[in-house]
Amino acid sequence: MALRQRVRNRDHIAITSERVRIAVNLTTCINSEELIVGLATPPGAGGIAIVRLSGTGAIAAAAQLFTPKSPTRKLLNLPGYSVIYGHVANIFSGERIDEALLTLFRAPRSYTGEDCVELSCHGGSAVVQAIILQTINAGARLAQPGEFTRRAFLNGRIDLSQAEAVADIIRARTEEARRLALRQLDGSLSKEVAALRHELIGAAAAIEVSIDFSDEVGDLNYPQLEQRLEAALFNIQTLLAESGRGKALRDGLSVALAGRPNVGKSSLMNALLRSDRAIVSPFAGTTRDRIDEQLQIDGIAVTLSDTAGLRDALDPVERIGVDRAKDAVVAADLALFVVDASVGITNEDRDLAATAARAGGVVVLLNKCDLISAESAIQLAATAADELGLSGCAIECVSAAGAPGIGPIEQQISSAACGNGADSAGRAAIVSNVRHIQALNSAAESVALALESARQRMPGDFAAIDVRGALNALGLITGETVTEDIIHRIFEDFCVGK
Ligand SMILES: Nc1nc2c(ncn2[C@@H]2O[C@H](COP(=O)(O)OP(=O)(O)O)[C@@H](O)[C@H]2O)c(=O)[nH]1
Ligand SMILES: [Mg+2]
């Protein structure tokens, strides 16, 4: 009873009316009406540069520095989405700066939701600087990184996960990563999260009604609550199941070749890159520095590192290389631990496997299988992981020189990115951002606690607290419940002008 009272007094579970936009708090800190200006294209010379103005008075400010070619066209009277040709001039002297195309957007139908003007001019840094200076003379101030997108979020044009997708789409290095970001920008994740929140708000409302109106509606229907919570938990876990691949697609995967000297690490690197990148020689200690190269496997941006053979090197330079190699292996998402199959597993291999075991994941590669019989390879593969103290790790027979080749390595890298092997093809939303993964984990934890309370037939308040915890966690993804410093951190990673 005491708990019930406490919960209800402190903050009545008004979850149904919980969609209080963070914008309300935030607009008090940032004056989003202010006129801002930023270069939307990359700095430096280019065919075209786009200077973007947004905020109250954007069109009037533009009218001060831009003169349409046709004297009959008045900027202030033009409808949204108009594009006009003209020139930009110094607002005091009238001296021409450049010719330009002006695109006009009227609130709320613009990227930011405010009045916006984009000036497409010649892409030279002197031109851009001069135009930006004139916009400042006309009352604008320089935009902070990500401020245009931040305004789009604060004005409710997009939610936080969509704003993050804007940064992802700009940063995408592979076709798959771009596709993933576009889906998020289209709101695929927002929709899944909204559905989850809807489910949980339903559960919270049922609890609340049973507390407030137990006389009219009777006691809490526990089996129904359990069902609701089970469904929510299942849906969160399904989203999480695919997050490993999502994260790999978004952030790429770091893969390091590890093993003692001369087992064929550099040869495998070259084979995977299909180029003679690393020096290969029969002499141990050839590779001394770390070599990083980019490649794509199944749409995943892989950073592959070849390293110095791990051994107790006497040569001081090689020793530095060995230290770097260890760092690379430990930091990698996946270590490819290479063993010379024609030699078998040595004591040195056993010692070094411990370093590989500290990477995010390990695959044991029995290299030079072209030199041994198929039977010996099968025998070696059967015992290698246990012998190396890497029980449970995947083992592949490979060869940099002949059959069976390197196909199995590419498959292993691809499935390492899949995490539990979930297939993403059927689903619209794939979670890829660590921040979202953490929020979903925390939501799952809260729902599991609520479920436990329901199963034990505890008073409704117990489940209600955890359901609210889950709702808060989910709100972090779309931005309903984030704090200002999280928002600040997200947008400071954006480039200026975006
Ligand atoms: N037969 C055969 N020789 C290989 C294979 N991989 C590497 N080698 C040879 O093994 C030696 C050492 O190779 P290297 O790639 O420099 O080994 P690392 O020290 O581990 O980088 C070189 O002479 C390679 O030609 C393989 O799969 N089959
Ligand atoms: Mg080497």
For residues 253 and 247, is the Cβ–Cβ distance under 8 A? no
What is the reported pLDDT for 64? 97
Mean pLDDT across 198-225: 87
pLDDT tens per residue, range 373-403: 999 999 999 999 999 999 889 999 999 998 8
pLDDT above 60 for 11: no
Mean pLDDT across 227-238: 95
Mean pLDDT, the chain, whole residue set: 87
For residues 459 and 4, is the Cβ–Cβ distance under 8 A? yes
Mean pLDDT across 85-99: 97
Please give the distance, rounded to the nearest whole angstrom, from the Cα atom of residue 413 to the centre of ligand 2.
20
Alpha-carbon dihedral of residues 399, 403, 406, 411, nearest 10 degrees?
-130
Token pair of 255 as six digits? 């893969």
CA 394/CA 249 separation, integer angstroms: 22
Mean pLDDT across 63-80: 94
pLDDT above 90 for 118: yes
Alpha-carbon dihedral of residues 383, 388, 390, 391, nearest 10 degrees?
30
pLDDT tens per residue, range 181-197: 999 999 999 999 999 99
pLDDT tens per residue, range 266-283: 999 999 999 888 888 777
Mean pLDDT across 50-64: 97
Query: Ligand 1: which atom is nearest the Cα of residue 369?
Result: 27
Query: Ligand 1: which atom is nearest the Cα of residue 338?
Result: 20
Please give the distance, rounded to the nearest whole angstrom, from the Cα atom of residue 354 to the centre of ligand 2.
20
Binding site membership of 261 for ligand 1 (Cβ less than 6 Å): yes
The DSSP H or E segment spanning 84 is: strand 82-89
The pair phi, psi for residue 218, each rounded to 5°, is 80, -170
- Kindly indicate the confidence band of residue 494, based on its pLDDT and cuts at 50, 70 and 90: confident
What is the reported pLDDT for 285? 72
Chain Cα centroid distance, residue 197: 22
pLDDT tens per residue, range 12-22: 333 333 333 34
What is the reported pLDDT for 62? 98
Mean pLDDT across 411-438: 73
Minimum-distance ligand to the CA of 282? 1
Cα-based angle 60, 63, 68 (whole degrees, multiple of 5): 150
Token pair of 150 as six digits? 């931040």
- Kindly indicate the confidence band of residue 249, based on its pLDDT and cuts at 50, 70 and 90: confident
Please give the distance, rounded to the nearest whole angstrom, from the Cα atom of residue 262 to the centre of ligand 1.
6
The pick from 267, 276, 338, 371 for probing ligand 1's pocket by mutation, whose C-beta has the most ligand atoms within 8 angstroms, reads 267
Token pair of 98 as six digits? 């450049």
What is the reported pLDDT for 488? 87
The pick from 263, 273, 280 for probing ligand 1's pocket by mutation, whose C-beta has the most ligand atoms within 8 angstroms, reads 280
For residues 154 and 26, is the Cβ–Cβ distance under 8 A? yes
Mean pLDDT across 277-303: 84
- Of 86 and 3, more confident: 86
Query: Ligand 1: which atom is nearest the Cα of residue 306?
Result: 21
pLDDT tens per residue, range 312-321: 767 777 778 7
For residues 476 and 486, is the Cβ–Cβ distance under 8 A? yes
Binding site membership of 101 for ligand 1 (Cβ less than 6 Å): no
User: Which structural domains are found in the chain, ordered by start?
Assistant: 1-27+159-242+424-498 (1.20.120.430), 36-139 (3.30.1360.120), 251-418 (3.40.50.300)
For the chain, percent of residues with pLDDT exceeding 70: 91
Query: Ligand 1: which atom is nearest the Cα of residue 400?
Result: 27
pLDDT above 90 for 256: yes
Mean pLDDT across 313-334: 83
CA 84/CA 67 separation, integer angstroms: 10
Binding site membership of 267 for ligand 1 (Cβ less than 6 Å): yes
Taking CA atoms, 154 is separated from 4, 58, 172, 478, 482, in Å, by 36, 18, 25, 12, 12
Please give the distance, rounded to the nearest whole angstrom, from the Cα atom of residue 229 to the centre of ligand 2.
54
Query: Ligand 1: which atom is nearest the Cα of residue 286?
Result: 19
pLDDT above 80 for 63: yes
Minimum-distance ligand to the CA of 366? 1
- Of 411 and 6, more confident: 411
Binding site membership of 16 for ligand 1 (Cβ less than 6 Å): no
For the chain, percent of residues with pLDDT exceeding 90: 65
For residues 49 and 123, is the Cβ–Cβ distance under 8 A? yes
Binding site membership of 226 for ligand 1 (Cβ less than 6 Å): no
pLDDT above 70 for 3: no
- Kindly indicate the confidence band of residue 423, based on its pLDDT and cuts at 50, 70 and 90: very low
Binding site membership of 112 for ligand 1 (Cβ less than 6 Å): no
